[in-house]
Amino acid sequence: MPKCKNLLLTSKRRKSKSKRLKLHQHEPESLFPEKEVEEEDEDEGGFKLKIAAPSQEHGVQPLGNLYFNPGAVNVRNTGLGNLQILSDELVLDILGLLGANHLGVLATVTKSFYIFANHEPLWRNLVLEELKGDFLFNGSWRSTYVAAYHPKFKFAGDGESNLKIIDFYSDYLFQSWLCANLEMKPKWLRRDNITRVRGISVEDFITKFEEPNKPVLLEGCLDGWPAIEKWSRDYLTKVVGDVEFAVGPVEMKLEKYFRYSDGAREERPLYLFDPKFAEKVPVLDSEYDVPVYFREDLFGVLGNERPDYRWIIIGPAGSGSSFHIDPNSTSAWNAVITGSKKWVLFPPDVVPPGVHPSPDGAEVACPVSIIEWFMNFYDDTKDWEKKPIECICKAGEVMFVPNGWWHLVINLEESIAITQNYASRSNLLNVLEFLKKPNAKELVSGTTDRENLHDKFKKAIEEAYPGTIQELEKKAEEAKRAEEQRVSFWDSAKTDTFKFSF
Amino acid sequence: MSSKMIVLMSSDGQSFEVEEAVAIQSQTIAHMVEDDCVADGIPLANVESKILVKVIEYCKKYHVDEANPISEEDLNKWDEKFMDLEQSTIFELILAANYLNIKSLFDLTCQTVADMIKGKTPEEIRSTFNIENDFTPEEEEAVRKENQWAFE
């Protein structure tokens, strides 16, 4: 069963015929043809593939092509023998239990096993498990692994596995390759409906955006940051030196990370996301400042025991975060220092299409890759009343993500950013409510002492800001009663017995 | 004290009465129990009786409590015997464990197949899974060269 819940496994793709991709083979015996893929309902020409999509796509075709090729045999099945009754994901689950040598041997069994055994995610797992963050990316995960363990082994040609296979049809493997190699389509980037402000006062920000819980893009508030001038790849590599930053499941030196991000072509590139960057490299702490709107940071009362709250984020084009709500019911700001990010946000009460949260919110099932969400679900939102908020946040700009909002972010180019989560008076009650939940232990993130966080935090707030919680609760009660009265007024207005009298 | 029983129905129409506590090792069944739709029995359209019998046997063994105490070592030995099956049955069990979402059974069955691959030569693998080599001699040489490091 899939280790990560992803919607590559649903049959939705196969059912939606209009989205079936057709690859055109120009000669029957040709190898993998031009990298042109046309979508039938596309109004703007085909998908654009990243320049130099790697030579190691072996020629996997989507299942749809098999149906256009009557009499063709699917080499996938004949080459698996008795295993063919298993789905691609199940075959890969089994192969995921094998070591590198087993996969290398398996690749010589049949064309089908050749393709399965070279599936990059398998090799990524092997590299990360065995080499951790200490790998020299070598163009592909497979050659990275082989080069590390068999340094004397001479790769033929450009070092990649090169055999072109025709007549292998698989939606799962094709989609996997496609998502790894697609560029963002212009039409996915066009909508920009967020409110942008510059130079507003803190009070204005709180009354217009923070309290009503509305996203906004703030311009001009990073003007004083040394980081804006200084933070480039080279500068950071120099200043960070040999310190390792958190990248997915491992920790890496920056130089090695950039070597990887330059060469990576995958559905979900590894994303550098370190919650202790300021502690690890104090000079970085001195080169940025919390924008004035976000200075009320109530978790600060916990001092060193506060959950993770600030991250440096570095990633190549295509990296990002698929739909999620930030933990602990906090709000967040995200400042782009270099690069640019595409944002898609939905309000707390609107679950994005293609996203399936579990009832307690502990798990979210959604497409594996961000590109896949755009391919399969973005258009669904066109006719929705509650359209998402979208924008591109560029260097020097700051996104405000109100608490509880669903959001998806994708880097359109290599980007360096800083993000912080916080609790202010506007969302303090929500945060406390969240921490009180019975399953808070699983949901609360970024702290080792999950169970007591609610009590600790509440106590610390009451000590530092006595009376604040009661005040906020009183205000919330009053607001609720006012809302109820308003509702009942209009309810009664609907009935015949009510008469306006002026 | 009688324990709650539920009825599982295989794709070929056979019914099996099973203790609820045993059956909910399947997450799929557990969710249906939570959603309270098991009163008329649970139809399992993807699992035929021959396989369902084995699944139930597994779940019963793995329902470990005071009445059925068993050490991990003993369980492992039992697993080995349990998995002494025809290949096709093993694959059907993988499909069933996946569909029914029984993690430990899924892990066990996948590992069994992985173990069938480990340490074998390409020819032995082909023979194990009834596969014909579809490489041309030139292709086979190229592929072998690419993966020579795995053979050393």
Query: Which residues in chain A have their CB less than 8 angstroms from residue B140's CB?
Result: 108
User: What is the structure's pLDDT at A6?
Assistant: 33
User: What is the structure's pLDDT at A14?
Assistant: 27
In a domain, B57, yes or no: yes
* Chain-chain contact of B114 with A81 (C-beta, under 8 angstroms): no
Query: Which residues in chain A have their CB less than 8 angstroms from residue B139's CB?
Result: 111, 163
CA distance A268 to A180: 8
**In chain A, what are the domains?**
52-180 (1.20.1280.50), 187-462 (2.60.120.650)
CA distance B68 to chain A (A): 28
Query: Which residues in chain B have their CB less than 8 angstroms from residue A106's CB?
Result: 117, 122, 125
In a domain, B35, yes or no: no
In a domain, B144, yes or no: no
CA distance A82 to A85: 7
Residue B42 β-bridge partners: B8
In a domain, B96, yes or no: yes
Determine contact: A80 vs chain B, CB below 8 A. yes
SS3 letters across B69-104: CCCHHHHHHHHHHHCCCCHHHHHHHHHHHHHHCCHH
Q: Which two structure tokens, joined as six digits, stand for A479? A: 């607001």
Question: Residue A95's closest chain B neighbor by CA?
Answer: B114
A102 is in an annotated binding site: no
* Chain-chain contact of B126 with A110 (C-beta, under 8 angstroms): yes
pLDDT in tens, chain B (152 residues): 467 899 999 999 999 999 999 999 999 999 999 888 878 899 999 999 999 999 999 999 998 777 778 888 889 999 999 999 999 999 999 999 999 999 999 999 999 999 999 999 999 999 999 999 999 999 999 999 999 999 98
Q: Which two structure tokens, joined as six digits, stand for A325? A: 């709500």
CA distance A49 to A184: 9
Q: Which two structure tokens, joined as six digits, stand for A416? A: 């360096």
SS3 letters across A161-193: CCCCCCCCECHHHHHHHHHHHECCCHHHHCCCC
Tally of domains within chain B: 1
Backbone torsions φ then ψ of A127, nearest 5 degrees: -60, -50
Query: Which residues in chain A have their CB less than 8 angstroms from residue B152's CB?
Result: 150
For residue A363, what are the contacts with CB-CB under 8 A and spacing of at least 6? A5, A357
User: What is the structure's pLDDT at A58?
Assistant: 72
* Chain-chain contact of A1 with B101 (C-beta, under 8 angstroms): yes
Q: Is the ipTM of this complex over 0.90?
A: yes
In a domain, B100, yes or no: yes
CA distance A319 to A370: 8
Q: Over the stretch A398-408, which tens digit does the pLDDT of each residue have? A: 999 999 999 99
In a domain, B146, yes or no: no
Give the residue numbers spanning the domain of B65.
48-118
* Chain-chain contact of B91 with A83 (C-beta, under 8 angstroms): yes
In a domain, B62, yes or no: yes
The HSE-up count of residue A39 (CA atoms within 13 Å, CB side) is: 17
CA distance A11 to A210: 40
* Chain-chain contact of B146 with A156 (C-beta, under 8 angstroms): yes
Query: Which residues in chain A have their CB less than 8 angstroms from residue B101's CB?
Result: 1
Report helix angle B49-62 to B103-117, nearest 10: 110
Q: Over the stretch A178-209, which tens digit does the pLDDT of each residue have? A: 888 888 999 999 999 999 999 999 999 999 99
Residue B19 β-bridge partners: B5
Does the pLDDT of residue A496 top 60, yes or no? no
* Chain-chain contact of B146 with A163 (C-beta, under 8 angstroms): yes
Query: Which residues in chain A have their CB less than 8 angstroms from residue B145's CB?
Result: 156
- pLDDT above 70 as % of chain B: 99
CATH number at residue B84: 3.30.710.10
User: What is the structure's pLDDT at A284?
Assistant: 97
* Chain-chain contact of A111 with B134 (C-beta, under 8 angstroms): yes
Question: Residue B134's closest chain A neighbor by CA?
Answer: A110
The residue ranking higher by pLDDT, A6 or A274, is: A274
Does the pLDDT of residue A96 top 80, yes or no? yes
Mutate to test the interface with B, among A110, A115, A356 (most CBs of B within 10 A): A110
Residue B23 β-bridge partners: none
Least confident residue range of A37-41, A185-189, A310-314, B40-44:
A37-41
In a domain, B58, yes or no: yes
A356 is in an annotated binding site: no
